[in-house]
Amino acid sequence: MGKQWKEKLGILGTPPAGYARVAKSARRSSPSSLAVLVTGAAGFVGTHASLALKRRGDGVLGLDNFNRYYDPSLKRARHRVLERAGVFVVEGDVNDAALLRKLFDVVPFSHVLHLAAQAGVRYAMQNPASYVHSNVGGFVTLLEACKSANPQPALVWASSSSVYGLNSKVPFSEKDRTDQPASLYAATKKAGEEIAHSYNHIHGLSITALRFFTVYGPWGRPDMAYFFFTKDILKGKLITIFQSPDCGTVARDFTYIDDIVKGCLAALDTAKKSTGSGGKKKGPAQFRVFNLGNTSPVPVSELVAILEKLLKVKAKKKVLPMPANGDVKFTHANISLAHRDLGYRPATDLETGLRKFVKWYLDFYSKKSSW
Ligand SMILES: NC(=O)c1ccc[n+]([C@@H]2O[C@H](COP(=O)([O-])OP(=O)(O)OC[C@H]3O[C@@H](n4cnc5c(N)ncnc54)[C@H](O)[C@@H]3O)[C@@H](O)[C@H]2O)c1
Ligand SMILES: O=C(O)[C@H]1O[C@H](OP(=O)(O)OP(=O)(O)OC[C@H]2O[C@@H](n3ccc(=O)[nH]c3=O)[C@H](O)[C@@H]2O)[C@H](O)[C@@H](O)[C@H]1O
């Protein structure tokens, strides 16, 4: 068991190069800055959040299993950007309890930003086990590690707008019902919220769940519609726009990555300390849930029109009824709670954000080998 993580951290030899890199990466610039373990650091949100934390002087250590759900070369390219910024990413799985123990032994993390997950709504039809593995099993393994750590870190983690499921009352408020998930992905995120509550209640862990609403931007996820629409429009391939079965508009509260990152950092900064220590609870701890959205849903057809304008290419498109694939018709965030408690105020409209995405996309895919 021990050998595996030692190899992963590169700490078999002397001097312990891997250990030194972990310690350096996690070093704070001042006693008041944070020491954050970012899981899913080579992912879309994880990369942006890690860079933002590092830029302002926090210590950051990344963890990611670099799985093949989407093009791993994109994750490797993000990883190179992180390394250049001084963020060390340990290659490992959140299900690896021994590895997590070691990381918590090496670094007294003040916070964990948990972003590692099997994302994507529709892929759950193909590979349900991967959702249970990462979003339920992996989350519990991480919570166990947080529970046993001394000091216990405050945890901020990514839930999802998908927990609102078939709820049709919009805009979605945190108090609205979330007991009708439309996909296994949503069900595992909802399960995560309930599991998190139990660790808060029993072990005094300070926990904040952030319900992200369809995040987009540079370094984004190739499985998401705005990303593969861009690719397919440029290639002259047919794209499919889903229409809801009642012929109504399908729309999303698309939220730009920089706004999401600001919300994540504000959640970390306002998180109160956990009240447990080494597995023992000392008092009631903070448990929070926030929507992080953009408050302005845009129809998918409008998303495509903006992409056509920015790419200067007319899309070949067809409109089909939405298949029973886990998608929901409409998302719209009420963000008053995040505004009140986190000072969260999204600042990027869809066209401005997509312009930045398209610029990155064209640059990245024209010079991919040099990243
Ligand atoms: N992007 C969105 O629109 C969106 C919306 C709502 C919620 N979320 C949630 O936000 C978080 C980040 O999403 P993202 O868009 O950056 O996704 P992403 O897939 O780009 O990032 C997730 C990262 O976690 C890693 N990972 C997955 N399982 C792992 C495991 N078991 N151990 C270690 N690493 C693992 C992956 O390799 C990946 O790099 C996820 O929890 C996702 O469910 C995202
Ligand atoms: O906020 C979330 O909680 C979720 O956000 C994201 O899911 P979604 O909002 O479903 O984004 P995405 O797949 O880009 O589809 C966008 C729109 O395009 C429509 N869509 C999709 C494919 C297609 O071929 N045609 C189409 O019209 C489709 O019907 C939809 O209306 C994350 O992937 C997910 O991880 C999750 O966390």
Task: Report the separation in Å between the CA atom of 18 and the middle of ligand 1, taken as the mean of its atom positions.
Answer: 25
Q: Are 264 and 211 in contact (CB under 8 A)?
A: no
**Nearest Cα residue to atom 9 of ligand 2:** 214
Task: Quote the CA–CA distance of 211 and 6 in Å, as a whole number.
Answer: 35
What are the sequence ranges of the domains in the chain? 3-220+254-293+330-348
Using DSSP, state whether 293 is helix, strand or coil. Answer: coil
Task: Quote the CA–CA distance of 289 and 159 in Å, as a whole number.
Answer: 9
**Nearest Cα residue to atom 32 of ligand 2:** 120
Using only C-alpha atoms, the chain has a radius of gyration, in whole angstroms, of 20
Ligand lying nearest the CA atom of residue 124: 2
For this complex, say whether ipTM is above 0.95: yes
Q: Report residues whose beta carbon is within 6 angstroms of any ligand 1 atom.
A: 39-40, 42-46, 64-67, 75, 93-95, 115-119, 134, 138, 158, 160, 212, 214-215, 221
DSSP state of 240: E
For residue 20, what pLDDT is reported? 79
**Nearest Cα residue to atom 24 of ligand 2:** 240
If one residue of 69, 118, 121 were mutated to test the ligand 2 pocket, choosing by the most ligand atoms within 8 A of its CB, it would be 121
Question: How would you write the pLDDT of the chain (371 residues) with one tens digit per residue?
Answer: 345 555 656 544 444 457 778 888 889 999 899 999 999 999 999 999 999 999 999 999 999 999 999 999 999 999 999 999 999 999 999 999 999 999 999 899 999 999 999 999 999 999 999 999 999 999 999 999 999 999 999 999 999 999 999 998 999 999 999 999 999 999 999 999 999 999 999 999 999 999 999 999 999 999 999 999 999 999 999 999 999 878 788 999 999 999 999 999 999 999 999 998 766 788 889 999 999 999 999 999 999 999 999 999 999 999 999 988 899 999 999 999 999 999 999 999 999 999 999 999 999 999 876 77
Give the 3-state secondary structure of 154-209.
EEEEEEEHHHHCCCCCCCECCCCCCCCCCCHHHHHHHHHHHHHHHHHHHHCCCEEE
What are the respective helix, strand and coil percentages of the chain, to the nearest 5? 45, 20, 40
For residue 5, what pLDDT is reported? 58
**Nearest Cα residue to atom 15 of ligand 2:** 225
**Nearest Cα residue to atom 20 of ligand 1:** 43
Ligand lying nearest the CA atom of residue 239: 2
**CATH class belonging to 3-220+254-293+330-348:** alpha beta
For residue 1, what pLDDT is reported? 38
For residue 13, what pLDDT is reported? 40
If one residue of 100, 157, 212, 213 were mutated to test the ligand 1 pocket, choosing by the most ligand atoms within 8 A of its CB, it would be 212
For residue 14, what pLDDT is reported? 42
Task: Quote the CA–CA distance of 284 and 203 in Å, as a whole number.
Answer: 9
Q: b/e string for 55-73 if b means 16 or more Cβ within 10 A? A: eeebbbbbbbbebebbeee
pTM of the entire predicted model: 0.96
Q: Are 125 and 108 in contact (CB under 8 A)?
A: no
Q: Which residues contact residue 349 at a Cβ distance below 8 angstroms, ignoring those fewer than 6 apart? A: 296
Ligand lying nearest the CA atom of residue 68: 1
If one residue of 233, 304, 327 were mutated to test the ligand 2 pocket, choosing by the most ligand atoms within 8 A of its CB, it would be 327
Task: Quote the CA–CA distance of 212 and 172 in Å, as a whole number.
Answer: 12
Between the CA atoms of 260, 263, 269 and 273, what dihedral angle is there, to the nearest 10 degrees?
-100
Task: Report the separation in Å between the CA atom of 214 and the middle of ligand 2, taken as the mean of its atom positions.
Answer: 7
Catalytic residue among 70, 131, 164, 185: 185
Between the CA atoms of 152, 52, 135 and 277, what dihedral angle is there, to the nearest 10 degrees?
0
Task: Report the separation in Å between the CA atom of 168 and the middle of ligand 2, taken as the mean of its atom positions.
Answer: 17
Alpha-carbon distances, residue 248 vs 253, 323, 324, 327 (angstroms) = 16, 14, 16, 14
185 flagged as catalytic = yes
